[in-house]
Amino acid sequence: MPKTINVLFSLIFVLYCSLLSAQSIHEFVDLADDAYESDNHRAAIYFYKQVFLYGVDTAKVKEETIFKSIASPNNMNFNYYYEKGLEKSDYDRIIFQLANSYRMIYNYGNAEKWFKAAVNVSSYDYPLGRYWYALSLKKNGKYKKSLNQFLQFTYEFTEQESYYFKSAELEIKSCIFAFDEIIKSKSEIIVNRLPYNVNAIEADFASNFGDHDSSLIYASTRPECIPIDKKKHKKGIYTTDLFKTEKHGNTWTSPENIGLPVNTSANEGAVTLTYDKRTMYFTRWSGEKNNGEYAIYRSKKLNDNWSEPEKLNENVNLSGFVSMQPALSPNEDFIYFTSNRPGSYGKMDIWYSEFDENGNNLPPHNLGDRVNTDQDDVAPFYHATSQHLYFSSEGRKGFGGFDIYKVYGHKEQWTKIYNAGFLYNSSRDDIYFTLSLDGTKGFLSSDREGCKGDEGSCYKLFMFYYNPPKYTVSGYVYKENTKKIIPNALISVEDTYGSISSTLSDKDGFYEMPLHDNANYYFKCKKTSYFGDDGMISTNDVEKSKNFKQDFYLERIPIGEIEIPGILYDYDSADLRSESKLILDDLVNFLMLNDNIVIEIASHTDNRGNDNYNFKLSQERARAVYDYLVQKEIVDERLSSVGWGEKKLLIEDAQTDKEHQKNRRTTFKILSEDYIPKDDY
């Protein structure tokens, strides 16, 4: 949820009146310290600055000159305040707490300046000053300087098991990553802040497509919201409501409050709609995360009016815990959401819950540590076309605080996670990513431009345009021996997690199929009366559009037996030798590729020895091959075995050892090509 400015004019006025009667520098210090301890950081900033202006003729000396001189690493500046009765320990503490107050209101420009002063005057007494100085530099996009300060912090800070040391190690990786990524950033991405009629003075965030690709529904904190307290509302303290706007040409219409019963005197935001735009899921909250309620609601459109929202059951909204930021799966059979419920890996995790036949939520599942970290992982959005989950995280290397990431997969099965990249991400927070079905435009929320007066962390809406790279695979299907084309061959492709698609080669033997980015693919090509062929392609780390070439060469299935060369047994034994098992492993791979064929395994002996003995031995040897294939997970329905003894000699009157060896053989033949694997039902 957004971090908005809480303007406490009345309190500051009372404190200012107290200041008028102050007779010493210590009274300024006491006023500032009281405000700091009460988390009234704006008042603390005002009074700490008055400490440094104490006794100074500001008509002759500019305030900025005074504040800049305090950052000097020598003690000459302190001597003036010492003469006014300020101890060195108070001087150092005031500088640190002034810097920290700026950080707490997300004014990283001034936080950077004052943390630099804190590091210069007393890095020993306030060791975290360097950590916060480094973080402020990073928030301001100064990655090289930030990297140096984080490195210095890890050198000086002795508590290596602490959160701050481990966080600094991650930030070091982030600074290196950010600097490298900015250099190779994709210039074809265009990110623009939406106009001021859409973005209000306070916070605007969590947008999603409305009734069509040129409509928007989003959360906003503005005067048009339904007030919870009319007195606070008049003072500029607003709730958050859902608003809608549309783009006509290059102009966005004035936002319209969705109104009751969806919007109330509580706060509403983070919305997602079903494909038919008739059902809405959204977050409603009151108070803060630690002591308020954050829950997901559902409303249905009846006669163009939204129904009274219903709160999802405890499988999503667990009492005493936060549940927010819903997103639907492509088939709308389950919902992704963010929660800190038990079983989370970090602070906030992404979960999913399936719907039963009545639309009620079933027990939830955590997406796992492939997605979730020990920090906040929030704001899921699933893009149905590319089958990517987009989300924001504070627990991975990146450009800023919350960065946007993407990962291919579904539910608890995910491939490698990628940072969405520069321009989508900035040195601040970037969150609530949404993308059109064709992948060419979308929206995100960011505080990259700060708030009025550079104070606060106000999320604003940004729209982006992108010409995504296109990935395809194409090729031809040929006969193995003649290289003539084969039309109507079946080409099927399966990704890492079992998503399957297929096509047929055309009359010229040609085929073409689309691919996704950052995925591994396994291809099979089949045709009746031919053995199959396969291939593998990976689009991982391929940043530009590319057509992958993959041709297939099919061998016609021969009539009769096919010898398996090199199958050897110990003398007078049906036990397979180790080298024979290696050869049979190739047969296993062959059968997995050609998973539609049923075979008969046959074993033959030479004509030396007793006929009955040879017949029995050949049966045992054929069965040994059968058993080995079953052990390797070839289903027994596709196999049979037979021993022929010396009944089918290739050389009837064999005389030499070489001729006898030709008669001793293991073979298989194709019985049918119409077996349907169970997994394909």
Which CATH superfamily includes the segment(s) 190-465? TolB, C-terminal domain (2.120.10.30)
The secondary element (H helix, E strand) that includes residue 339 is: strand 334-339
pLDDT reading at 445 higher than 90: yes
Residue with tokens 């079905």: 437
Residue 160 CB partners (closer than 8 Å, separation 6+): none
**Cα angle: 206, vertex 101, 116; to 5 degrees:** 110
Give the DSSP per-residue string, 258-288. --TTTS-SSEEEEEEE-TTS-EEEEEEEES-
The secondary element (H helix, E strand) that includes residue 531 is: strand 530-538
For the beta carbon of residue 359, count every other beta carbon within 10 angstroms.
11
Domain 471-556 falls in which CATH fold? Immunoglobulin-like (2.60.40)
pLDDT in the model for residue 7: 41
**Residue 124: left if φ>0, alpha if ψ -120 to 50, beta else—which one?**
alpha
**Residue 629: left if φ>0, alpha if ψ -120 to 50, beta else—which one?**
alpha
Residue spans per domain, the chain:
9-183, 190-465, 471-556, 562-680
pLDDT in the model for residue 467: 85
pLDDT in tens, 579-635: 899 999 999 999 988 988 999 999 998 888 788 888 999 999 999 999 999 999 999
For the beta carbon of residue 37, count every other beta carbon within 10 angstroms.
10
Residue 639 CB partners (closer than 8 Å, separation 6+): 598, 599, 600, 601, 626, 629, 630
**Average pLDDT for 293-299:** 96
pLDDT reading at 45 higher than 90: yes
Q: How confident is the model at residue 681 (pLDDT cuts 50, 70, 90)?
A: very low
Give the DSSP per-residue string, 53-80. TTT--TTTS-HHHHHHHHTSSSSHHHHH
Residue with tokens 């955590």: 366
Helices (H) and strands (E) in the chain, counts: 14, 34
Q: How confident is the model at residue 648 (pLDDT cuts 50, 70, 90)?
A: confident
Give the relative orientation of helices 63-70 and 108-122 as an angle to the nearest 10 degrees: 50
pLDDT, the chain, mean: 88
pLDDT in tens, 65-77: 777 677 654 544 6
8 Å CB contact between 382 and 328: yes
DSSP state letter for 482: T
Residues forming a β-bridge with 209: 216
8 Å CB contact between 351 and 328: no
Instruction: Please determine whether the domains at 190-465 and 562-680 fall in the same fold group of CATH.
Output: no
pLDDT in the model for residue 652: 84
pLDDT in tens, 522-548: 999 999 899 999 999 999 888 889 999
pTM over 0.95: no
At residue 40, what is the residue type?
A: N
Q: How confident is the model at residue 21 (pLDDT cuts 50, 70, 90)?
A: very low
pLDDT reading at 496 higher than 80: no
d(CA 593, CA 634) in angstroms, rounded, equals: 11
At residue 507, what is the residue type?
A: K
Residue 97 CB partners (closer than 8 Å, separation 6+): 32, 33, 36, 44, 48
The residue with greater pLDDT, 456 or 167, is: 167
d(CA 294, CA 268) in angstroms, rounded, equals: 10
Q: Over pLDDT 90: what percentage of the chain?
A: 60
Q: Over pLDDT 70: what percentage of the chain?
A: 90
pLDDT reading at 571 higher than 80: no
Domain 9-183, what architecture?
A: Alpha Horseshoe (1.25)
Domain 562-680 falls in which CATH fold? 60s Ribosomal Protein L30; Chain: A; (3.30.1330)
**Average pLDDT for 380-398:** 95
d(CA 23, CA 30) in angstroms, rounded, equals: 12
pLDDT in tens, 547-561: 999 999 999 988 888
pLDDT in the model for residue 75: 47
pLDDT reading at 639 higher than 70: yes
d(CA 622, CA 602) in angstroms, rounded, equals: 6
